[in-house]
Amino acid sequence: MATAAARSLPRARKRANAAGNGDANRRAAIVRAAARLFRERGFDGTTVRDIAAAVGMRSGSPFYHFANKEEILFAVMEEGLRQGLARSEAALAQGGDARARFFALVRAHFGILLEDGSDFIPVMLYEWRRLPPAYRRKLIAVKDRYDALWQGVIAELAASGQMRGDPKLARLLILGAVNFAATWFKRDGGLSIDALARASAEFFLAPRRAPGTR
């Protein structure tokens, strides 16, 4: 998790971390504040001074924790993928048939996008181009694992006639539809995240045959 960051940090920082003091908490606070600001104002629209002020530091101090601004962006996205994978795997671990697991995955992903403090994945979706290619490569492997979770469930649904079309296209369309909710969903709009997830999942699935019909 800290592999990429560790390579370019000052020696003093590495010592502090090894000593097990509270340094990691400050780093996590920076990442959290940066995620919120990057989501609200974009990467280029957020200054390192903004991030520092949000955690009560002076303007130069974030560079004690990160070699440069891009590394903060990388840390935000890495944290998003970590949380997203953990949450999605937990959803799938509850078991049930393909339909139930699909519901759980849709609900988990809406949560990652729309719940309070869930700024990490939206930043990854909307600021991806700002991340230098060298950093991108490190995240793509993790993104692929995330996509594979979806692909597995969708392929299962397709095989049993519960979802139409090519499974890969289905995955891209479904994830696109869900991801775009980050731009239009308002929590005070009367629709809960649970209800949104349920209705969306139903929309994507082929209608279930009522028992006793054929």
Partner DNA sequence: CCTACCGATCGGTAGG
Quote the CA–CA distance of 200 and 202 in Å, as a whole number.
5
Quote the CA–CA distance of 100 and 179 in Å, as a whole number.
20
Q: Is 172 in the site for its own copies (CB under 8 A)?
A: yes
| Minimum separation from the CB atom of position 183 to its own copies (A) | 8
Q: Is 199 in the site for its own copies (CB under 8 A)?
A: yes
Q: Is 88 in the site for DNA (CB under 7 A)?
A: no
The binding track of 8-27 with respect to DNA, each residue x by CB under 7 A or -, is ----x----------x--x-
Q: Is 181 in the site for its own copies (CB under 8 A)?
A: yes
**Token pair for residue 167?**
């499974």
Q: Is 61 in the site for DNA (CB under 7 A)?
A: yes
Q: What is the DSSP string of 106-147?
A: HHHHHHHHHSTT--HHHHHHHHGGGS-HHHHHHHHHHHHHHH
Quote the CA–CA distance of 193 and 199 in Å, as a whole number.
10
Nearer to DNA, 52 or 105 (CB): 52
Rule CB under 8 A: which residues touch its own copies? Answer: 40-45, 125-126, 128-130, 164-166, 169-170, 172-181, 183-184, 196, 199-200, 202-204, 206-207
